[in-house]
A and B are shown apart, each in its own frame.
Chain A
Amino acid sequence: MSEPGRSNLVHISRKRRVKEDKRFVSGTGCYVQDVVPAGTKHVAVLPSPYPRARILSIDLERAVALDGVNAVVTGEELAEHTAPLPQGLNLPNVVWRPLAVGMARYAGEWVVAVAADSVHIAEDALDLIEVEYDPLPAIIDPELAMSEDAPLVHPEHGSNILYSGVFTWGPVAEDFEAADHQLTFRARWGRSSTVPIETFGVLAAWREGTDTLEIWASIQMPKYAEQIAHALRIPLNSVNVHNDVDVGGAYGVKRGIKHTVLAGYLSRKLGAPVRLIEDRLVNLAGGDAHGPDRIFDTEVAFTKEGIITSLKIRAIDDAGAYPGRGPYQLAKPITAITGPYRINSVHYEAISITTNKTGQVPVRGFGQAPTNFMLETAVDKVAMQLGIDRLEVRRRNFIRSDEFPYTIPSGTAYDSGDYHAVLEKLLDLADYDGLIQTRDQRRSEGMLAGVGIATCLEPSGGNTMFEYLMNPAAEITTFMEACQVRVDAQGGITAIMGTSGAGQGHETLVATILGEELEFDPEDIRVIHADSLAGLPTLAPVASRMAIMLGGAAAGAAQKLKDRVMRIAAHNLGIPITGLEYSGGTVFDRADHARKLSWQEICFIAHNQIHKIPEGLEPGLQAIHVFQVPGGGQLPDDQNRVQLYPCFAFQAHIPLIEIDPGTGKVTIVAYFIAHDCGTIINPDIVRGMVIGGVAQGIGVALYEKFAYTPDGQFISGTFADYVLPSVFEIPYVQVTEHCTPSPLTSHGQKGTGEGGYLGAPAAIASAVNDALAPRGLSLHELPMAMADIEELLNGGDSI
């Protein structure tokens, strides 16, 4: 296997076109909306107008009678034939179904579904359905939801608290006792999500002849087929998920299991393909796809030199009416609970609350982004309280490059890093002193101006052991990904992966690594996505894991394949493998390069001449490698200490912003990043991932919020209300790189899909607070909307 960080890489780290791009620029990608078999029926759903209401009666008669309507389904009917949707925590009395049964728990929850010959007819039919509701008071505020007399979202559960747990790692009490200083603050991460431009969609086709449910979906979720099989009560090998669907953006949130179960049920009922494509209102209001909505109360213990010694964190997260896997977003951040800092001890209290809002879904970073925003706020506050420069406080607290592997109090060992070097590169890139001068110049001209600083660790590679910390029933230690390489009789190389892609460039990743290992042009290597029934073990492109895990699987498969090639060559050349040399597919006698077997000759033998294949070697030329996450597989010790993710990338961000003192409008003037994701596989993909994450993080910080009225109505149902940043809001982000290879991966690579999103909200918040500081103001609630800043500037209280 190639040596990590080696400088003689031919394809890895070199600029090359992204394989997927050609079909996308030509308009020939194949998204789920492009899959419309003959006879497809179309689904529309009727939402509850009330945030909390008993459903007294439903009259379907007129809808059923409409020409072109094929089926009208209520929650009762669906519940008779399907199991509740799987969720993360063990919550038997918090029942999640595609359609409400007896009670609607948020405004926008699906109550009835119609399948019709066209989506227009299905929507017409919705108007003919009469539902009688008994509206009840809703609970919207997560802190009020914890009180004794709050209305219960799920009365059978007996409380609105879905989870409450306390973890203590290290001598917290002693560290607080010994600290020179302490401070406390509250920070709030608003309800937002990564909201792809493509809504969720699914096409389900039950095939009676084969007893299979064929699924095409805009999905990014581990164990999708398993969840479908469970809910529809059919064998897992009756579910076939087609992974050759291009997914129009996912960033964690494309998890439409309720959509799929509904469409799958209808397809079986009707004997026809059934398609459910969210429109934008359904997507925003009723897709059960909101992200973390979190309140942090944090206490920090630190020395007079600014060394942070201990943290006490309480995180309350509002999971909405149906938590799904959402609450685990309180556990994943334990992976890097102290960030890039040498913090000796941590007390962490995590609380997940249910309210009458749409349900929660995993979002890019799986809870790490809110946690990082809180951590970086803490560091800035320490600096401000002591009057020490924010950069200097970070330098003093960073883990040093000679301390790796470094084990944090919660038990995870960080693999490698050089945080000081990355920070220095960032200061050079940003011309930090010049930037401060520019800020001060703008201040002298009457603007509010601020320079932000934030760093973040990006845990990458995955591992689900954080789930066990919240739910010991989840004793899942396997976290794998696989790749198969096949070489045909002409010598053509085809790689098979087991999941779909959503713009991450997996085909390019696999082709580049195979090209490097087998010494072929990645351009000539085909990469396909197997259906789930024909496919490979996979846990989907989550957890910033594919460069590490799919990359590792591809590298492993290449090694196994190469071993077969060498054995065939050794057998036919009559030379031991140790006497052979592999170069570009041809195998040479080291001592005499005239003696050789070409790639084509070897492939011909493998496929056609078993008499020339060494005994014990099967014919054909293919290899599968299943890669398990490095360092995983362990259960926590009795102190709840456990190795979580294996690899840790690092980013540092510096934005310069201005705030119009009259309107509160924030303009981002410049934005700089230095980052270290180990060995970069494809520079363009990495740059896009980093900057794209920043843009979403800017949205979180300044614009995006799923807003509810106090009585529970959803008021962010369009892109005019839920504001995604456009090219006007996002500056041209400048990026520089550093490379500390991971010792745990095939080529030293780490993940890079999440860091931009983890760092940017903290960085923008830091910049806004730097701009507000001369006025003696501060703001720690995201999004920092223009109106909030204006109100603060004109006499409001600091939040």
Chain B
Amino acid sequence: MKPRKITLEVNGRVRSATAEPRLTLLDFLRYALNLTGTHMGCEHGVCGACTVMFDGLAVRSCLIYAVQADGHDVTTVEGLCNGDGTPGPIQEAFQDAHGLQCGYCTPGMLISAQALLQSTPDPSDDEIREALGGNLCRCTGYAQIIDAVRLAAVSFQGAGG
């Protein structure tokens, strides 16, 4: 099938590019838009490394075709940074708690945490686990990731949510 031109908003910017219909949103973000922060882990929707925000919801970008994102709003890990490119509040909390090791699952974790805290600014531990349940981490055993989300929640609340 022929490539199609698509237009979507990514991290607050309108982006247009062509995409083959079989191209995943993951590969489109990484290779058409050069947003390499989003990572490929399994390409069958289990590991969560490719999680992005899609119209405000955390979704797996390996299970969406780029053409399906035409006209939609996408946030990647790069979009969690402040306007000047410095780490945003959740990213600061993950550094403070060392909620990562190799960094490969981290962008997906950060997006899932962001989605949680947007809807639930003061989550319980069970709510944190529920929110991260679709993101596999092989390095940390999750404890410091949970610590990081708790810490991020505090800073979210401090910043007025």
Contacts and interface: CB of A to CB of B under 8 A. Distances in A.
Interface in B5-59: 20, 22, 30-31, 35-44, 46-47, 49
A719 to B, nearest CB: 4
Given A25-B110, A27-B76, A198-B41, A692 B140 contact: yes
A737 to B, nearest CB: 15
A196 B136 CA distance: 10
Interface residues of B, number: 56
A196 B129 contact: no
Contact of A36 (B31, B136, B139): B31
B72 interface: no
A280 B44 contact: yes
Given A27-B37, A719-B136, A688 B102 contact: no
B123 interface: no
Contacts of A684: 97-98, 144
A94 B31 CA distance: 40
Most buried by B among A250, A685, A727: A727
B129 A728 contact: yes
A18 B98 contact: yes
Interface string A714-756: 0000111000101110101100000000000000000000001
Contacts of A18: 95, 98
A688 B139 contact: yes
Contacts of A246: 102-103
A661 interface: no
Most buried by A among B41, B92, B104, B141: B141
B87 A197 contact: no
Given A25-B87, A27-B76, A688 B46 contact: no
Contact of A25 (B38, B100, B137): B100
Contact of B46 (A31, A251, A719): A719
Contacts of B101: 249, 503-505, 688-689, 692
A752 to B, nearest CB: 13
Contacts of B102: 24, 196, 198, 246-250, 502-503
Tell me whether chain B's interface is mostly helix, strand or loop, or mixed.
Answer: loop
Contacts of B78: 26-27
A17 B144 CA distance: 13
Contacts of A502: 102
A165 B134 CA distance: 45
B46 A720 contact: yes
A250 B105 CA distance: 13
B87 A120 contact: no
B39 A26 contact: no
Interface in B64-108: 76-78, 81, 85, 87, 91-92, 94-98, 100-107
B160 to A, nearest CB: 22
Contacts of A691: 140-144
B4 interface: no
A180 interface: no
Interface in A1-24: 17-18, 20-24
Nearest to A695: B141
Given A120-B20, A726-B133, A249 B81 contact: no
A695 B146 CA distance: 14
A692 B144 CA distance: 10
A732 B143 contact: yes
Most buried by A among B44, B125, B138, B140: B138
Contacts, number: 177
A61 interface: no
A688 B102 CA distance: 11
Contact of B106 (A24, A250, A685): A24
Nearest to B128: A727
A193 to B, nearest CB: 11
B133 A33 contact: no
B139 A503 contact: yes
B50 to A, nearest CB: 10
Nearest to B77: A27
A28 B103 CA distance: 10
A548 B127 CA distance: 40
A48 to B, nearest CB: 22
Given A22-B95, A696-B138, A197 B105 contact: yes
B67 to A, nearest CB: 15
A36 B142 CA distance: 31
Contact of A26 (B91, B105, B125, B140): B91
Interface string B100-131: 11111111001000000000000001000100
A177 interface: no
A29 interface: yes
Contacts of A277: 40
Given A195-B138, A718-B46, A26 B37 contact: yes
Nearest to B40: A33
Most buried by B among A25, A33, A727: A25
B120 to A, nearest CB: 16
A27 B35 contact: yes
Contacts of B153: none
A718 B37 contact: no
Contacts of B94: 21, 25
B106 A25 contact: yes
A692 B91 contact: no
A226 interface: no
Nearest to A25: B91
B104 A196 contact: yes
17 contacts: A18-B95, A21-B103, A25-B110, A26-B78, A33-B39, A197-B39, A197-B47, A502-B102, A503-B100, A503-B139, A684-B144, A691-B144, A692-B101, A695-B142, A696-B138, A732-B142, A756-B141
Considering the complex of A and B, which 3 residue pairs feature the smallest CB-CB distances, nearest first? A27-B37, A24-B103, A503-B102
Given A24-B106, A249-B102, 12 more contacts: A25-B95, A27-B77, A31-B39, A120-B22, A197-B41, A198-B39, A503-B100, A691-B144, A692-B101, A694-B141, A695-B141, A730-B141
Interface of B: 20, 22, 30-31, 35-44, 46-47, 49, 76-78, 81, 85, 87, 91-92, 94-98, 100-107, 110, 125, 129, 132-146
Interface of A: 17-18, 20-29, 31, 33-34, 36, 120, 194-199, 246-251, 277, 279-280, 502-505, 684-685, 687-689, 691-696, 718-720, 724, 726-728, 730, 732-733, 756
